[in-house]
Structure 1
Amino acid sequence: MKQKKVINRSAYDPSFQFEVLSSHYSSGESLSVTSFRYGINRGSLCRWKNLFENHPESLSLS
């Protein structure tokens, strides 16, 4: 029996998450197109979007 490959949810650096979200908002692309372009799961992008919208202090990267 094959085991599922599980990726740690914190595998993406917050600066990468911010870059992807910035690109998404500035381009006006759909979540599906943005996630495909960056090679990430659409669900991850939705989660990041909700996280940053609900916690705007997370957007300030030092």
Structure 2
Amino acid sequence: MMHRHILESELVHLERVIASASQKPFPPTYWRDRVEHLKTSPQATMYLNRIARLSRLVAELDE
């Protein structure tokens, strides 16, 4: 189970990194797995908009 402050830190990190990510060094599947993991947190409902935005950014990496 991910605590709220850890979830928040992970969101901030992913928002920074994914926004400027490319295919290297990590493929989009790596980022997708990281974002999907956030959805399993009990606190995820508080962050649905941010998680959805990250999911869209990762989908754009596949294009």
TM-score of the pair, normalised by structure 1: 0.39
Higher helix proportion, which one? Answer: 2
